[in-house]
Chains A and B, each alone.
Chain A
Amino acid sequence: MKNSQLYKGSLTTIIMKLLEENGRMYGYEITQKVKSITKGELNITEGALYPALHKLEGEGLLDVEVEKVGNRLRKYYKLTEDGQKETVNRLAELEEFIKNMQTLVNPKINPDLQF
């Protein structure tokens, strides 16, 4: 993943946001969606994506549906009811984080913080 340290903490929120918008998705589909939205700027690797998906599933925030697609089985992920509520919380937290970061990195935007 590009700038992995910066993005790492937000990966689960990104996944949950995508699932909130798209209903259900499979692993590879998520990587491609992120790539397309960010115009190739952000690449989620297998090593980061699947542990994040399994962790969310383990926490009961994602549910799984398995379907036969062509000659193989495909595992789809979707948000559970708890997952939907948690997505709202995490997005609000992420927005707050972005706002604070913008204020810190570019203080001129917020006159309150100017000395």
Chain B
Amino acid sequence: MQVTDNQIKFIDQYLENSGIKYLDIRYEMTDHVATVLEEKEGDFYDEFKAYMVLHKKELLESNNKFSKIARNKAIKLLFGNLLSVKGLLITGSLFGLSLLGLNHMNFEKLVYVFYLTYFVLILVISGFNIYHKRTKKEKLWSGTHKLMEVVSFIINGIMIFGINTFKVPKEKGDDFYFIIYQCVIVSIVVMTIVTSRQLMKKYKLRYEG
């Protein structure tokens, strides 16, 4: 049988409703299912149902494994970016700026600037996500979304559990480590945005030409 455009949409929608939320994974699975069905002669919906009864579990398992691989790949890329010349320059510049800032403001104010930077970065990411959801432009790609999930989880963990993050160190010598710590975290957030954009570009080039 020949699988029509509407039937392709039906397969894709079924996979999405089954929990396969990433577009890059669904493209491959939709093609696989459609190719299998094209070799059958019966009614599309009967054959589809029969196929899913036998293979849905495997498709879902494959989806989970793919998501994990995409997550690991994205994290590897993030670390690569953090340790690249660009990443090290960003961290170094932040550190230099913080030390320079200390000449013009006291330590409490510098902590406030770090807090504000976090706030602005998180606002930018959230605003971007809300805009895409509202305009329904959002396309979920496995690597990008998984990376955002992991980094958001870590940052939220730091904010919630690392209550000392924004506390001014009591010992004078701890200032140095405190600034390094803050610079590294801000760099991770900045490089997450950079890495996400890289991945997004790659996905768009691969799947949208």
- B-contacting residues of A (Cβ < 8 Å)? 26-28, 45-47, 50-51, 54-55, 57-58, 64, 66, 69, 71-75
Contact = CB atoms under 8 A, between A and B. Distances in A.
10 contacts: A26-B31, A27-B31, A28-B35, A28-B36, A47-B59, A54-B66, A54-B70, A55-B69, A71-B5, A73-B27
Contacts of A47: 57-59, 61-62
A94 B143 CA distance: 33
B55 A46 contact: yes
Nearest to B26: A73
B32 A72 contact: no
Q: Which of B35, B59, B72 has the most CB of A within 10 A?
A: B35
B73 interface: yes
Q: How large is the interface on B (under 10, 10 to 19, 20 to 34, 35 or more residues)?
A: 20 to 34
Given A58-B72, A72-B31, A73-B207, A45 B58 contact: yes
Given A64-B206, A71-B3, A71-B8, A51 B31 contact: no
A51 B30 contact: no
Interface string B66-86: 100110110000000000000
Interface in B20-71: 27-32, 34-36, 55, 57-59, 61-62, 65-66, 69-70
A46 B69 contact: no
A47 B63 CA distance: 9
Contacts of A55: 69
Contacts of B164: none
B62 A50 contact: yes
Contacts, number: 62
A45 B58 CA distance: 8
B4 interface: yes
A47 B31 CA distance: 15
A51 B66 contact: yes
Contacts of B70: 54
A27 B5 contact: no
A71 B73 CA distance: 30
Contact of A51 (B57, B65, B207): B65
A47 B62 CA distance: 5
Given A46-B55, A46-B58, A72-B27, 8 more contacts: A28-B36, A46-B59, A50-B65, A51-B62, A54-B69, A69-B31, A72-B34, A75-B27
Contacts of A69: 31
